[in-house]
């Protein structure tokens, strides 16, 4: 059996706000006073699993803002997933160097 060229295993990406010290303090005080701040974490990609075989052409379609570009950035190695694994020819891309792989022409 030939290994897929790209394999995604339960890949997810979440984005959350980054707060400065003053905002963290204010949110902590509000929480202690019973005014729990709302969760501002956005789940851009949630549990995607798929395989792409060598020579296979895949189209990814969906509404604006549904995570297509985020998924593409993760597969390209530009952005790390929050959860899951992305493999290129059976090797996890998170552990690969920036060297160009030897692809057949």
Residue 103 within any structural domain of the chain: no
pLDDT, averaged per 10 consecutive residues of the chain (105 residues), comes to 89 89 86 81 93 93 94 93 94 78 50
Check which CATH number belongs to the domain holding 17 and give it: 3.40.50.300
Q: What is the predicted pLDDT for the residue at 69?
A: 95
Cα distance between residue 73 and residue 1, in whole Å: 28
Q: How many domains does the chain have?
A: 1
72 within a domain of the structure (yes/no):
yes
Instruction: Please indicate, yes or no, whether the overall pTM of this predicted structure exceeds 0.95.
Output: no
Structure tokens of 82? Answer: 């929050």
Does some domain include residue 1? no
Answer yes or no: is 56 within a domain.
Answer: yes
Q: Is residue 44 part of a domain?
A: yes
Within a domain: 102: no
Structural domain for 49, as ranges: 6-95
* 12 within 8 A of 81, measured Cβ to Cβ: yes
Q: Tokens in use for 66?
A: 């549904």
């Amino acid at each position: 059996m030939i290994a897929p060229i790209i394999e995604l295993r339960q890949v997810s990406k979440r984005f959350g706000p980054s707060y400065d010290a003053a905002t963290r303090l204010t949110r902590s005080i509000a929480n202690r006073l019973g005014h729990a701040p709302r969760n501002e974490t956005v789940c851009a990609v949630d549990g995607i699993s798929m395989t792409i075989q060598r020579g296979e052409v895949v189209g990814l379609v969906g509404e604006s803002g549904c995570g297509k570009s985020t998924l593409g950035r993760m597969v390209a190695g530009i952005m790390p997933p929050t959860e899951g694994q992305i493999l290129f020819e059976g090797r996890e891309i998170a552990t690969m160097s920036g060297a160009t792989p030897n692809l057949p022409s």
